[in-house]
Amino acid sequence: MNFFRDTLLIFMRQMRLSLRNPAWVVIGLIQPVLYLAFFGPLLKRVAGSGLPGFSGGNSYKFFVPGLLVQLGLFGAAFVGFAIIADLRAGVIERMRVTPVSRLALMLGRVLRDVVVLVVQAAVLVLAGVAAGLRAPLPGILISFGFVAVLAASLASISYTAGLLLKSEDALAPMLNMVMVPLMLLSGIMLPMALAPAWLNGVSRATPFRYIIDAMRDAFQGHYTTTVMLEGVLVAAALTAVCLFFGARAFQRENA
């Protein structure tokens, strides 16, 4: 019971901080919305051309799931900067001497990041609907579940990197070095079915490829496919691994 109370307390504190300064939440949403506005219309003719990877003729059913994953990649993945600021300000040190659960220190923050990313995802989907997206409601809700899992995974590993590196100068290039190739290899912009065989094979080594493909199936109304099962299993495994390493990092930092 104390663990859940501690998690809720940390979550509420982090949410208050976010609500006091919501600018970064809005800024994080600007990039995918701009992609939706400027790049989405270019895919309309491509979607109707019969190329592999496009189905249903609606480019936004393909593009919006990719943007949702991009939102997670460049939203939750950069929260590690906040933990570095807290370390420098002595916030983590002060919390360490309290009886609050060490695991709750991480999960409360991660829960805040999940809520923020899901709200941003809802705004992005509404913008997509205004632009021409037509997808079944269950598929959209399933995609929000994937966004929540992705946010939990990336936020956990970002906090872990922040605790280990303790420097924005080291964290920023590391994240860019990892996230940009992952974004390109996951097929956010164009289906990897269009890629040469070697590049398509490399992309299958990235977990986000399976998550995006499952979300696109959900937007098509396909909920019981092998692609959906692969996406769910990969997302669950990714979350478990990231939460495990995040928990270890927080426990060691606060030992």
Q: Is 70 exceeded by the pLDDT of residue 58?
A: no
CB atoms within 10 A of CB 202: 15
Q: What is the pTM of this model?
A: 0.87
- For residue 17, give both structure tokens: 């901080």
Confidence of residue 215 (pLDDT cuts 50, 70, 90): very high
User: Percent of the chain beyond pLDDT 90?
Assistant: 22
State how far the Cα of 127 lies from the Cα of 251, in Å rounded to an integer: 40
Lowest mean pLDDT among 45-59, 97-111, 125-139, 185-199: 45-59
What's the pLDDT score for residue 17? 81
What's the pLDDT score for residue 51? 58
Q: Name the average pLDDT for the chain.
A: 83
| Cβ(188)–Cβ(69) below 8 Å | yes
Q: What tens digit of pLDDT does each residue of 77-94 get?
A: 888 888 888 888 877 777
What's the pLDDT score for residue 186? 83
Maximal CA-CA distance, the chain: 62
Specify the amino acid at residue 36.
L
Q: Residues 183, 189, 190, 193: is their CA dihedral positive or negative?
A: positive
The domain spans of the chain are: 2-253
Name which residue leads in pLDDT, 227 or 87: 227
State how far the Cα of 233 lies from the Cα of 229, in Å rounded to an integer: 6
State how far the Cα of 197 lies from the Cα of 52, in Å rounded to an integer: 13
Confidence of residue 43 (pLDDT cuts 50, 70, 90): low
| Cβ(179)–Cβ(73) below 8 Å | yes
Give the contacts of 138 (CB within 8 A, at least 6 positions apart): 218, 221, 223
- For residue 113, give both structure tokens: 């990041």
Lowest mean pLDDT among 24-28, 53-57, 148-152, 210-214: 53-57
What's the pLDDT score for residue 233? 96
Q: Is 70 exceeded by the pLDDT of residue 223?
A: yes
What's the pLDDT score for residue 247? 84
Specify the amino acid at residue 187.
G
What's the pLDDT score for residue 111? 92
State how far the Cα of 101 lies from the Cα of 193, in Å rounded to an integer: 46
Mean pLDDT for the stretch of residues 40-61: 64
Q: Residues 15, 9, 71, 91: is their CA dihedral positive or negative?
A: positive
Mean pLDDT for the stretch of residues 207-236: 92
Confidence of residue 251 (pLDDT cuts 50, 70, 90): confident
State how far the Cα of 108 lies from the Cα of 94, in Å rounded to an integer: 16
Q: How far apart are the first and last CA of the chain?
A: 21
What's the pLDDT score for residue 177? 86
Q: What tens digit of pLDDT does each residue of 122-180 get?
A: 888 888 888 888 889 999 999 999 999 999 999 999 999 888 888 888 888 888 888 88
